Amino acid sequence: MRKVIAAAMASACVLAAAPGLAAEPAKGEVVSSALEIGKLHIALPPGKWNVVAEHAGKAASSDGIPNGSPYKGYYLVQFDESKRLIGTFYARATTQPGKTIEWRDKTCQREDTLFRATLGGPVHSQDCLLVNHLVRYLQVKPRDLMDRAAWKWMQDNDVKVPKTVLEVQERLFKAGEYLWVNYTVNPEVVDFVPSTMTDWRQSEWHPEFVKTDPDRKEYIEHLKAWATANAKVHQAALRDNDQKGEIAPYPR
């Protein structure tokens, strides 16, 4: 298996002079280990993370039914000494309980993925985990406001963004509350050559191609195990108010 450049992971660079705290971060701060949204302790992958965007709103189901809960979301970026992107981390969660509704999130229904797992819950509010690849990643100005804020921040700070990243998505629910997490990993940091494909189906990281590449196949197996453990940590934070969860070092 290809070797991770461990030093790059351990010494992820930040722009702020002093590390931020886990509780209620603000744009421009730096956090490590965890961030908190409301009562939730949301464990982060190791290293220091720049908070580049935040937003808030009212929670609603995917078909627009509100449940009375407010939510907050934070977008974090991590890069190494060479200003090469290591990964991004987006977390969004309700900050107080609302009425129980059918969330009907459609993320869990996707099947053309590198990995998909259901983690319990009713069908209309099912906990799930997905691993997939994204091509043309932040290569142009995104439409989504949070992605656009992160894109601009990375451009302004000369962060080197790969054309393809691996993405982990978690959708976790508890009656009138939820926690959504999307985070990315740059495969170039673990010594894979930069992707040259811009078509999702032709990508070196498409599930059909990964099956034929021993190195990528092995790495994805490690990534799946790591992502599953992470999802269970975040699930315990939501369901049981676990304040001690930690994320293991990046997979090798």
Which strand ranges, in their side-by-side order, compose the sheet holding 30-37? Answer: 30-37, 40-60, 66-79, 85-94, 177-185, 165-174, 128-134, 115-118
The DSSP symbol for 152 reads: H
Backbone angles phi, psi at 217, to 5 degrees: -60, -45
Taking only the tens place, the pLDDT of each residue in 196-218 is 899 999 999 999 999 999 999 99
Provide long-range contacts, Cβ within 8 A and 24+ apart, for 152-160: 153/50, 153/52, 153/53, 153/77, 154/52, 154/77, 154/85, 157/15, 157/83, 158/83, 159/77, 159/79, 159/83, 159/84, 159/85, 160/79, 160/82, 160/83, 160/84, 160/85
Measured between alpha carbons, how far is 56 from 199 in angstroms, rounded to an integer?
A: 33
Work out the widest C-alpha separation in the chain, in whole angstroms. 49
> What pLDDT is attached to residue 215?
97
Q: pTM of this prediction?
A: 0.90
> What pLDDT is attached to residue 196?
87
pLDDT tens digits in sequence order for the chain, 252 residues long? 544 444 444 444 444 433 433 467 989 999 999 999 999 999 999 999 999 999 999 999 888 888 889 999 999 999 999 999 999 999 999 999 988 888 888 888 888 999 999 999 888 888 999 999 999 999 999 999 999 999 999 999 999 999 999 999 999 999 899 999 999 999 999 999 999 899 999 999 999 999 999 999 999 999 999 999 999 999 999 999 999 999 999 998
Q: Residue 89 has which token pair?
A: 């981390």
> What pLDDT is attached to residue 23?
66
